[in-house]
Structure 1
Amino acid sequence: MTEPLVIIGGGLASGGAVRAIRDGGHDGDIVVISTEPHHPYERPPLSRDYLRREATRSSVFTLAPGWYAENHVDVRTASTVVALDVHSHRLTVADGQDLKYSKLLLATGSSPRSAGLPGEDLLGVLSLRTLENSDLLHATLQEAVRDGGGRLVVIGDGWIGLEVAASARTMGLEVTVLGHGSQPLGKVLGETMGAFYADVHTAHGVIFRRQVVVASIDGIDGRVHGVTLGDGSVIAADVVLVAVGAAPNTGLAVSAGIAVRARELGGGIAVNGCLTTSAPDVYAAGDVASIPSIVYDRPLRVEHWDTALRSGPHAGAAMIGSDTLYDHLPYFYSDQYDVGMEYTGFTAGPGDYDDVVISGSLQSREFVAFWTSQGRVRAGMAVNSWDRIPEIDALIRSRTRAAPDELERFHERPARPQNWSTPTAGGTGSGEACTGSSPSQKSTK
């Protein structure tokens, strides 16, 4: 009897992998093991429309729970894998059960980082990752509004923090966002685009405290009451969201001796172009996977919806024999108030580009921004400008040098997919082909 294909994880990558395996014609046993008490679901709505209750709970499930039963997929919820033996192809669940597998996908995702602050365990201090987190955050915000307070303090000025800030303002709360940098999203977008998003939120009443150090989260009778900054000032709070980033859930892989990337490369489980790890018959996808990029000549670990959407099915197909090389540019989107944004490409931070070129108008909030290095576009962001991503993708892949004035005229042109040079793969990736090569067995910590 052939052992089952096993998938560990309950997010979008897991659900996509299962669907790809069945769509690929595999009729053998599949087991999905998730620590959460749900079938696999997607997470972007948790900080957006679902948090505001503009979307239903059922809308977050990309496959209806009944689909799994109809397709003979064994989904084991509220179960945690505590040990993995890659040599014997065996894993152990927290209840003591052992399970053998023929092939295994690690789609274990990431977990919110702790701020490491006194008072982080007070009632009303929350983080956001799971469906239950979003339910609790919604209920806590609503309770704060009903009780006449309604003051939210967000520690962290990244995407999750700002999306929750926008949702909370829509729900009627007072919002203060605390950040280390001179602008929100500065580490990701740089000063110009960070200032743009700061202006968007400020226009909707959000207060920003920049370049601050948080000393403690303070409470009365076990419940949060405020946040004390390093200069001694206190910001009153009925609810505090800690949104200081996420860490990949690599513990199971590390304990099994599976190679992981160095922290300076984003961490995560090292995979090759077929999303195969250093262990035989073990794959990784989603937030936890560090995937070699043909375009950027380095591995990328990207914690975004689209990576899970694409890498999960890619890994599922690879598990049943596909040898297609993974070649997708990172992509994500964010909707905040009346500002919709799509972004594609990658930069490792301000030192990874030398200019930001704007095509369109920041004032009208309709534009395309390009991050360039020596005239070559490394990433692009379309704000309230739709159907431009295929062109931006093509421009990045072409590696063609474009003068700033040429990029500035981009927004004036009608949307036309692949309007620029024909994209080419370019580069050599990480030297890890889809077949015949797996990441080093040595784990890099």
Structure 2
Amino acid sequence: MTTFVIVGGGLAGAKAAETLRAEGFTGEIVLFGDESEVPYERPPLSKDYLLGKKPRESAYVHPAEWYAANSVDLRTGVSVAAIERPTHTVIVEPSAHGGASPPVSPPGGTQHYDKLLLATGAAPRRLDIPGEALDGVRTLRKLPDSDALRAEFTRGRRVVIVGSGWIGLETAAAASIAGCQVTVIEPQPTPLYYAIGPELGAVFTVLHQAHGVEFRFGETAAEFHGDAAGRVGSVLTSSGTVLPADVAIVAIGAGPNDGLARGAGLELSNGVVTDSALRTSDPDIYAAGDVACSFLPLLGTHVRVEHWSNALNGGPAAARSMLGQEVEYNRVPYFYTDQYDLGMECSGLPSPGAYDQVVYRGDRATLEFIAFWLAGGRLIAGMNVNVWDVTDDIQSLIRSNRTLDPSRLADPAIPLADV
């Protein structure tokens, strides 16, 4: 029997398994996840689940019983330790995150594959400064991390967040809503500097300041200091300021979990390199989601995109490619956030240096607007803030690669489809 193995029990891996069955694959599917949980999505961990608005099960990609019902051999609490490419096998062992289900026996067992998908995701970057191992110094990547922060976020507690990317700001919003005193340390002049540039970063500065969040721009964390109980008690910044802290969150981005691919000798460059069909340098191994640095024809280069939509769509694309279908994964990068009363969707990658003009449609003061990033008159990204049902039009304009008239982009009387 043909066996497809998926390494990684997150959204990309689970959606790949779902797609294999939907496309009529009748062979064996083995899905390894190193956590004890069934596969789950990560956005709720910093949004509705962290805020206590949704139950734990709302994060699950499928109900627990779905895997057996669809003949997917889900093995939770199991790590893949190595890939043996010449023999098409993987070496497995119990994970440090919990007992394997079913148990791995004997430890160091093997599993054959005909095709292999790496959907191993990413891991939070660490600071490597004194005190980072103290109790109360947190990161946010997994359900237990979100559980811990839910318990920490109680009224009056002092929360210091290192980094103001999406995770940093979403946890800042959740902590503020819970009544915590929140301080964010950020070396750049605005939050989200590398994600959306300083112009739109300033919008999020004002938003959070209106909810009592303090920013310390131009600073980094130098040390975490413990209290008498051995928990974090304060954070020393690069300016010499000591910030009292009952909990500290390190939110400085994530790096690809590419160690397995590295050990197997696959091509790497900021993740596992793939072509536009999500094939790695080994024709029987594929990669999708946060770990994959894939060629995107739309941009003409390889990119690694960590956002939810890339896992949601990349897993199914990889599955179809594994089945031998003609696949060109060429989606416009897309991400979203919810903070306080602000809801936002962004299409494209508007990092500093990629654009030369920002055009606005609507009212930034009331947080109902669309921002357009242009390079040489061509749209490279668009963000709709509390404005809905325009993502398809924005993405069509990006794909058109046309030179656009900024005045028409800014005019709300002109439908985006007619710009």
Class of the TM-score when normalised by the shorter of the 2 chains: over 0.9
Aligned twin of 1:381: 383
1:248 aligns with 2:250: no
Matched-pair contact (CA < 8 Å) for 2:289–2:315: yes
Matched-pair contact (CA < 8 Å) for 1:12–1:62: yes
Q: In the aligned structure 1, how far is the partner of 2:414 from the partner of 2:113?
A: 53
2:145 aligned to which of 108, 121, 133: 133
Offset at residue 140 of structure 1 (A): 2.1
2:245 aligned to which of 222, 234, 237: 237
What is the aligned-residue identity percentage? 45
Secondary structure of the residue aligned to 1:350 is: coil
Q: In the aligned structure 1, how far is the partner of 2:58 from the partner of 2:309?
A: 17
Matched-pair contact (CA < 8 Å) for 1:360–1:412: no
- How many pairs are equivalent? 405
Offset at residue 229 of structure 1 (A): 1.2
1:192-271 pair list within 5 angstroms: 192-220=199-227, 221-261=229-269, 267-271=270-274
Q: TM-score under structure 2 normalisation? A: 0.95
Matched-pair contact (CA < 8 Å) for 1:82–1:93: yes
| Partner AA of 1:332 in structure 2 | F
1:123 aligns with 2:131: no
Aligned twin of 2:91: 92
Offset at residue 3 of structure 1 (A): 4.2
| Partner AA of 2:182 in structure 1 | V
Q: In the aligned structure 1, how far is the partner of 2:148 from the partner of 2:221?
A: 24
Q: In the aligned structure 2, how far is the partner of 1:419 from the partner of 1:268?
A: 39
Offset at residue 5 of structure 1 (A): 0.6
1:114 aligns with 2:105: no
Secondary structure of the residue aligned to 1:87 is: helix
Aligned twin of 1:399: 401
Aligned twin of 2:197: 190
Aligned twin of 1:37: 36
Q: TM-score under structure 1 normalisation? A: 0.89
Secondary structure of the residue aligned to 1:310 is: helix
2:373 aligned to which of 363, 371, 374: 371
| Partner AA of 1:124 in structure 2 | G
Q: In the aligned structure 2, how far is the partner of 1:76 from the partner of 1:412?
A: 54
Offset at residue 293 of structure 1 (A): 1.3
Aligned twin of 2:172: 165
Q: In the aligned structure 2, how far is the partner of 1:380 from the partner of 1:291?
A: 22
Aligned twin of 1:275: 278
| Partner AA of 2:310 in structure 1 | T
Aligned twin of 1:443: none
Offset at residue 189 of structure 1 (A): 1.3
1:181 aligns with 2:204: no
Q: In the aligned structure 1, how far is the partner of 2:34 from the partner of 2:204?
A: 35
Secondary structure of the residue aligned to 1:137 is: helix
- Any unmatched runs of 5+ in structure 1? 262-266, 421-445
Aligned twin of 1:442: none
Q: In the aligned structure 2, how far is the partner of 1:341 from the partner of 1:419?
A: 23
After superposition, the Cα gap between the structure-2 partners of 1:80 and 1:205, relative to the gap in structure 1 and judged at 3 Å, is same
- Any unmatched runs of 5+ in structure 2? 94-106
| Partner AA of 1:276 in structure 2 | R
Offset at residue 419 of structure 1 (A): 4.2
| Partner AA of 2:167 in structure 1 | I
Aligned twin of 2:3: 4
Secondary structure of the residue aligned to 2:86 is: coil
1:324 aligns with 2:332: no
Matched-pair contact (CA < 8 Å) for 1:86–1:280: no
1:38-117 pair list within 5 angstroms: 38-94=37-93, 95-117=107-129
Aligned twin of 2:96: none
After superposition, the Cα gap between the structure-2 partners of 1:279 and 1:250, relative to the gap in structure 1 and judged at 3 Å, is same
| Partner AA of 2:65 in structure 1 | G
Larger strand percent: 2
Q: In the aligned structure 2, how far is the partner of 1:180 from the partner of 1:150?
A: 24
Moved over 6 A (4+): none
Post-superposition Cα deviations, 1:333-370, rounded to whole Å, max 9, x if no partner, equal: 100001100000123x3111111111111101111101
Offset at residue 52 of structure 1 (A): 1.3
Matched-pair contact (CA < 8 Å) for 1:14–1:107: yes
Post-superposition Cα deviations, 1:187-232, rounded to whole Å, max 9, x if no partner, equal: 2211210110000000011111101122101111310111111222
Q: In the aligned structure 1, how far is the partner of 2:260 from the partner of 2:239?
A: 41
Secondary structure of the residue aligned to 2:225 is: strand
After superposition, the Cα gap between the structure-2 partners of 1:36 and 1:412, relative to the gap in structure 1 and judged at 3 Å, is farther
Matched-pair contact (CA < 8 Å) for 2:276–2:297: no
Q: In the aligned structure 1, how far is the partner of 2:356 from the partner of 2:398?
A: 15
Secondary structure of the residue aligned to 2:38 is: coil
Q: In the aligned structure 1, how far is the partner of 2:413 from the partner of 2:49?
A: 35
Aligned twin of 1:351: 353
